[in-house]
């Protein structure tokens, strides 16, 4: 009888193919299946030629090919396709077989699927996988969560294919129960959206306020990438900005339509933050920024209709002014990026408390240090802070971040003010700064909001000269609510 395969993989789009090749290169025998079998044949003929990768003509054939307990990695489009596949796969599997969903599924779907498989005695793992095509092939960051009994079975495979951080540690760890893995991947993507938006705003400032061309900005970003701001996204942006069109030598970035796409994970992060009441405005603004970019026709029309300043590109600043602007933009990106990361981790912290996942934030920061799209030098510091202080509500509270936040302030404020005065939209940088100022405000005008709520709806308010939890109502007008408000309406502080 043929040697059994160690793992099955269903779905041979680029991520699936590259993960199969990555596993085969680490010595695992992989059975692969795809809805269209031509795809499997082409893969085996071409990229998988002479590798320990075998064809499964059907799901039932794959089940027979796999060693027990069977491990099957689904790399199909998130949503209905995963459920359809599970409908067909579940009846073929036996006790303790393991199904891993490696796509960008919504965490609530993964939680539901965990229950569904558990009812059949099967194990389910929702594993976020980050790093794009290249990461899948050479080493992604992997974020598994679900039925923990599955972990000892899949750990050797996952650890062998995952990226390594600079200190050699593996960028894959068991992260928690139920939907935890996909929640963490979702938050990763929310931070990814924010980071991309912040870098795009820094580019816009340097270009339209600083009068610098893409190649000059590419050099600036490469330089920034040597220090504290070092990140995969900044590095690829420097590459992108240096890329010329084939033939005529123009810069490619200038020919790309300014309409950003999205597949939903950033939006889900913003929705999760709203659902949990976590202030994560910079992540949400990054989603909205893509949405406003997509309204290209409306923007073109309102450009001629709506009054306001336009950045003056005819009068570029002199060298000294340019240097100052570059330094300020660096500070702005530095401060705002830390805020975006802090918002993402605060969302994880609150979700963890709410859903009881037992997520270790230090572990999350640690496995994001290699392989994934948001890998950045800051994650080393964040991982150390959470290792020391796992219960911290917000990572910026730790003294490790006080000096960097102090250093970035002035330039960040100048950048936002200048952009706003010039009519240059900076929703990411500005919202991050407002978040920062609100988060360090002893007093906010929420007292007035409470008074307004009490005025029109008798929603009651707490007083700052009385203990928390005691609620008051004022009869603001003659026809205002006369009755004392219902104590069951009392509102807790979050």
CB closer to ligand 6PG out of 190 and 214:
190
DSSP state of 371: S
- How far apart, in whole angstroms, are the C-alpha atoms of residue 259 and residue 177? 37
* Residue 301 interacting with ligand 6PG (CB under 6 A): no
Q: Work out whether the CA dihedral 320, 233, 359, 380 comes out positive or negative.
A: negative
CB of 131 to ligand 6PG, least distance (A): 5
| Three-class SS state of 262 | coil
Contact residue for ligand 6PG among 68, 243, 263, 303 (CB under 6 A): 263
Can residue 262 be called a binding residue for ligand 6PG (CB under 6 A)?
yes
478: exposed, middle or buried (C-beta count within 10 Å: 0-12, 13-18, 19+)? exposed
The catalytically annotated residue of 17, 153, 185, 285 is 185
> Mapping DSSP to helix (H, G, I), strand (E, B) and coil, where does residue 239 land?
helix
- Mark whether 262 is an active-site residue: no
Q: Which of 189, 218, 366, 376 contacts ligand 6PG by CB under 6 A? A: 189
Residue 39 or 77 with smaller CB distance to ligand 6PG: 77
Return the structure tokens found at 243: 């890329």
Residue 21 C-beta: closest distance to ligand 6PG, Å: 17
Helix or strand run (H / E) with residue 417: helix 402-422
To ligand 6PG, the closest distance from the beta carbon of 237 in angstroms equals: 15
- Which one of residues 69, 132, 390, 425 is an interface residue with ligand 6PG (CB under 6 A)? 132
Which CB atom, from 71 or from 188, has the smaller least distance to ligand 6PG?
A: 188
Single out the segment in contact with ligand 6PG by CB under 6 A; choices: 80-88, 250-258, 263-271, 348-356. 263-271
Member of 105, 265, 282, 361 binding ligand 6PG (CB under 6 A) = 265
Compare residues 14 and 451 and give the one whose CB is closer to ligand 6PG.
14
Q: How many CB atoms lie within 10 A of CB 329?
A: 28
**First-residue to last-residue Cα distance in the chain:** 61
Least distance (Å) from ligand 6PG to the CB of residue 192? 5
- Which contacts qualify for 62-66: CB closer than 8 Å, 24 or more apart? 62/8, 62/10, 62/31, 62/33, 63/8, 63/92, 63/93, 65/2, 65/4, 65/5, 65/8, 65/31, 66/4, 66/5, 66/6, 66/7, 66/8, 66/31
Closest to ligand 6PG by CB, 136 vs 458, is 136
Only one residue has tokens 């942006």, namely: 237
From the CB of residue 264, how many other CB atoms can be counted at a distance below 10 Å?
15
DSSP 335-348: HHHHHHHHHHHHHH
- Catalytic residue, chosen from 192, 201, 285, 418, is 192
Which residues, other chains included, contact 156 with Cβ-Cβ below 8 Å and sequence gap of 6+?
none
Under rule CB under 6 A, residue 171 binds ligand 6PG: no
Beta bridge partners of 8: 31, 72
For the question of residue 185 being annotated catalytic, the response is yes
By the rule CB under 6 A, 192 interacts with ligand 6PG = yes
65 or 189: CB nearest ligand 6PG: 189
Least gap, CB of 197 to ligand 6PG (angstroms): 11
Question: Measured from the CB of residue 130, what is the shortest distance to ligand 6PG in angstroms?
Answer: 3
130 binds ligand 6PG (CB under 6 A): yes
Of the two residues 52 and 145, which places its CB atom closer to ligand 6PG in the complex?
145
Site size for ligand 6PG (CB under 6 A):
13
Q: Binding to ligand 6PG (CB under 6 A): which residues in 343-402?
A: 372-373
Q: Name residues contacting ligand 6PG, limited to 95-124 (CB under 6 A).
A: 104
Q: Which of 315, 301, 354, 342 is nearest to 432 (CA)?
A: 342
Residues marked active site are found at: 185, 192
Q: Which residues bind ligand 6PG (CB under 6 A)?
A: 104, 130-132, 189, 192, 261-263, 265-266, 372-373
């Amino acid at each position: 009888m043929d040697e059994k395969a160690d793992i099955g993989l269903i779905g041979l789009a680029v991520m699936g193919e590259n993960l199969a090749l990555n596993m085969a290169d680490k010595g695992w025998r992989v059975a692969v299946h795809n809805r269209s079998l031509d795809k499997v044949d082409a893969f085996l003929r071409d990229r998988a030629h002479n590798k320990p990768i075998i064809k499964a003509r059907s799901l039932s054939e794959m089940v027979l090919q796999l060693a027990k307990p069977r491990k099957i990695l689904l790399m199909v489009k998130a949503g209905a396709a995963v459920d359809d596949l599970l409908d067909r796969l579940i009846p073929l599997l036996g006790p303790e077989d393991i199904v891993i969903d490696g796509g960008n599924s919504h965490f609530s779907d993964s939680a539901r699927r965990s229950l569904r498989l558990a009812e059949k005695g099967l194990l389910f793992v929702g594993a976020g996988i980050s790093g794009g095509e290249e990461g899948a092939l050479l080493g992604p960051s992997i974020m598994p969560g679900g039925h923990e009994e599955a972990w000892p079975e899949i750990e050797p495979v996952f650890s062998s294919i995952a990226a390594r951080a600079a200190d050699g540690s593996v960028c894959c760890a068991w992260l928690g129960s139920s939907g935890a893995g996909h929640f963490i991947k979702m938050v990763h993507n929310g931070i990814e959206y924010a980071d991309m938006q912040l870098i795009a705003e820094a580019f816009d400032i340097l270009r339209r306020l600083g009068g610098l061309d893409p190649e000059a900005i590419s050099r600036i970003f490469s330089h920034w990438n040597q220090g504290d701001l070092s990140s995969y996204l900044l590095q690829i942006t420097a590459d992108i900005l240096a890329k010329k069109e084939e033939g005529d030598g123009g810069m490619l970035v200038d020919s790309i339509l300014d309409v950003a796409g999205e597949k939903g994970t950033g939006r889900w992060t913003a929705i999760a933050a709203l659902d949990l009441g976590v202030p994560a405005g910079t992540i949400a603004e990054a989603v909205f920024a893509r949405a406003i970019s997509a309204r290209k026709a409306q923007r073109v029309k309102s450009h001629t209709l709506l009054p306001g300043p336009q950045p003056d590109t005819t009068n570029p600043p002199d060298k000294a002014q340019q240097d100052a602007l570059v330094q300020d933009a660096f500070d702005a990106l530095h401060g705002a990026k830390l805020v975006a990361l802090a918002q993402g981790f605060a969302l994880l912290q609150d979700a963890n408390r709410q859903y009881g996942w037992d997520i270790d934030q230090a572990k999350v920061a640690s496995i994001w240090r290699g392989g994934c799209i948001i890998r950045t030098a800051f994650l080393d510091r964040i991982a150390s802070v959470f290792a020391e202080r796992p219960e911290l509500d917000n990572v910026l509270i730790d003294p490790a971040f006080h000096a960097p936040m102090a250093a970035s302030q002035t330039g960040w404020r100048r950048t936002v003010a200048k952009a706003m005065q010039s009519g240059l939209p900076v929703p990411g940088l500005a919202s991050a700064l407002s978040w920062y100022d609100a988060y360090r405000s002893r007093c906010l005008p929420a007292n007035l909001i409470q008074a307004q709520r009490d005025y029109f709806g008798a929603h009651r308010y707490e007083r700052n000269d009385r203990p928390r939890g005691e609620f008051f109502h004022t009869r603001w007008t003659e026809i205002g609510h006369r009755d004392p408000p219902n104590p069951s309406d009392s509102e807790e502080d979050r």
